[in-house]
Amino acid sequence: MDHGILVYEYNMLIIDRFQARSTVEIAPGAHVITVDTRFASPQPTAPATVTLAVDGAQVGAVVVARTVPAAFSASETFGVGVDLGSPVSPDYFDRRPFRFDGTIARVDVEVFDPAPPRTIQNERPIRWTCR
């Protein structure tokens, strides 16, 4: 969240940046936020589509043209509500550690196995849900 706008950024090793922003401000209060990531293939650097939803309604999306071929970093953290490592986005570099001032009750991460190929694109979805 950045000034009421839900923001997702995929930083492809500083080479490329891909950002999705909600089209409207998110009202204060309890919400279920879902980040759904679907890779076009299991191949390294495969493109992905990321969709943002609030309470089940899509509010933003971005196509990540290429993803990292392996892990981002051995020293980065999996921060929830704060960015303790190097900031993902230069948009909040000067505001780091960019703490979320609301309450995050729970984070669920679901990783789905690729479905049997039914189309040219064999998508492998990953869904992050914050409550």
Is the model more confident about 114 or about 17?
A: 17
pLDDT value, residue 20: 93
The string of pLDDT tens digits covering residues 36-95 is 988 888 888 889 999 999 999 999 999 999 888 776 666 666 677 777 767 777 777 787
pLDDT of residue 119: 45
Residues in the chain, how many?
131
Which residues is 108 bridged to in the sheet? Answer: 129
Residue with tokens 């001032």: 101
